[in-house]
Every structure is written in C-alpha cells, then in structure tokens.
Amino acid sequence: MLLFLVLEVLCIVFMTMTQNYHRQKRINTTNDLVGRIYETGNSIGDYFRLGKVNRELAEENAMLRRQLAATTDTTQSYLEVINADTIYEFIPARVVNNTVNRPNNYILINKGEADGIKKDMGVISSSGIVGIVSDVSQHYASVMSLLHSYTTISVRFKDSDQLANLRWETTNYRYGMVDDIPTHLKLQKGDTIVTSSYSYIFPENLMAGTVMELIPSPSGTLNKAKVRFATDFSSLKNVYVIHHTNKAEIDSLLQNQPKL
C-alpha cells in the first residue's frame, strides 16, 4: 500500500515536471536510444511507402520549378531572389515517430544537435507548417507539433492581409481554429491562410491551411474560423527544419527591449 502511494506520487511528479513546456527535461522523448529503436522499426515499414514519398517529392520539385520559372520571367534573376532569402536555411530531416491522437502531440525527427538543430526552430513539410523544435539530443530532436494545445502560430489571411492566430482544436488532427477574426472580414470556404511576417520562426507566406467554415461569435465581437491544416499529420515523412541565420541577433534585440 505504501509502495503504491509512493509510486503514484512519483508518477504525478513526473507528469507535472513534463507538463511545463519551458522546463521540459532531457528525459522526455528526446532520447537517442528511443530514437534509434523507432528508426529501426520505421526502416522496415519505409519500403512500403516509397511510392507515396516519391510522388510527394516529385510534386514538391515541380512546384519549386514553377516558382523558379516565375521569378526568372521577371526582371529579377533567380540569384537575387535566393540571396534575399538566405536568412533562412532548410535542414532536411525524416520523421521517426509521430502521434496525432493525443491532446499534446510531439514528432521525433532524426536530426539533432550534431546537425545544427536548436530549440525553437520551425519545422515544415512540403505541404505546410508542422511545428516547432522543443527539445534536442545529439542525433534526434522532438518537435512540438501544431497538434499541441500550447502551439499558436501567427498567420495571415492571404486575400485580406488580416493577421490572426492559428491553434489546434485538440480533437481532429485535420482541423485547427483561428480566433479573433474581426467581424467586417468576409471569409469564404477555401480561403488560404499563410504564415505572417511577425514570426521569426517561420518564413513569411508558408502555407498553413484553408478556411473550412466561419463560426460567428455569439456576442458579435470576434468571429472564429475552422481551418483545414495544409499538412496531413497522419502521414508525415519528410520535413525541413528552418534555421533563421539572424535569430540570435533578433533574440538579443528582443531581450534588450524594455519590459512593459
């Protein structure tokens, strides 16, 4: 009986320890041994998904070529375009483990400190945003998925340039929620939502999702909208970790700001 109580209390202590995102301990999923076991298990299943992965990469390739063609058509040379964007570097990684059916989901990827991954870097897939790196070990990193009750991402409605915050509604891995939409804003099903320029974790204009339906607020102040995520979290395989080369500079600037 005493042992039972001791063990239960220990479990509750563990739980509260890992609840807090900022105090997350290394002992949480990001563990090289756990990562290696997942990776071995996945390598068996990978062969069955090769077709799909190939198709996705080919699609992404085609899209990039289209974009490149579009930029070279104008007076700019593509070198200029790339130079303007070099504050972001993309580190390719593979998803080793991923959940979508818990209230707080994490994704384990096979790149870690040794590959230049740091905490708070953004993670995207070829179709849209995925999450933010929350913990790093030598060769693996765990990513706080967009499907996490603490994740909010600053987004923009592409047509109207209205800013808002995107979060998960914690039940279905397909849909998220955008709060605080001014009532004058007319939204239509299928309107595109992209990342805003206010985030220094994600580059601007990355696909976040599309509007499914507008939910009018009962008090008539700020509406909500149900959003279909651009990323299919249930079949995530190849992702890119975004390294913002000037992030250290921004961080120090923000630190020097007088606290309000």
Partner 1 sequence: MNRSLLNILRFVVLVVAQVLIVNHIRLGGFVHPYIYLIFVMLLPINLPGWQLLISGFGIGLVIDLFMGTLGMHAGATTMMAFCRPSIIKLVSGTQKFENIKEPNVNQLGFPWFVRYTICIVAVHNFTLFMFEGFSFHLVGQALLRILISVPVSVFLILLILYLFSSTTKKKEFS
Exactly one of 140, 173, 202, 229 binds partner 1 (CB under 8 A); that residue is 173
Exactly one of 127, 154, 160, 170 binds partner 1 (CB under 8 A); that residue is 170
**To the nearest 5 percent, what fractions of the chain are helix, strand and coil?**
35, 35, 35
Interface mask (CB under 8 A) for partner 1, residues 34-53, using x and -? x--xx--x------------
| Burial call 115-144: b when 16+ CB within 10 Å, e when fewer | bebeeebbbbbbbbbbbbbbbbbebbbbbb
Helical segments of 30-150, H only = 32-73, 78-84
Exactly one of 110, 126, 137, 142 binds partner 1 (CB under 8 A); that residue is 142
CA end-to-end span of the chain, whole Å? 51
Q: Which stretch binds partner 1 (CB under 8 A): 26-34, 49-57, 116-124, 196-204?
A: 26-34
Is residue 130 within 8 Å of residue 107, measured between CB atoms?
yes
Nearer to partner 1, 149 or 183 (CB): 149
Q: Which stretch binds partner 1 (CB under 8 A): 25-33, 64-72, 112-120, 160-168?
A: 25-33
How many residues bind partner 1 (CB under 8 A)? The answer is 36
Least Å distance, CB 132 to partner 1, is 15
Contact status: 149 vs partner 1 (CB under 8 A):
yes
Nearer to partner 1, 109 or 181 (CB): 109
Structure tokens at 114: 């040794």
Structure tokens at 244: 């913002």
Contact status: 102 vs partner 1 (CB under 8 A):
yes
Interface mask (CB under 8 A) for partner 1, residues 206-245, using x and -? ----------------------------x-----------
Q: How far apart are CA 197 and CA 154, in angstroms?
A: 8
Is residue 225 within 8 Å of residue 216, measured between CB atoms?
no
Query: ∠ at Cα 128 (51, 111), nearest 5°?
Result: 70
- Which residues in this chain contact partner 1 in the complex, by CB under 8 A? 3-4, 7-8, 10-15, 17-19, 27-29, 31, 34, 37-38, 41, 97, 99-104, 106, 142, 149, 170-173, 234
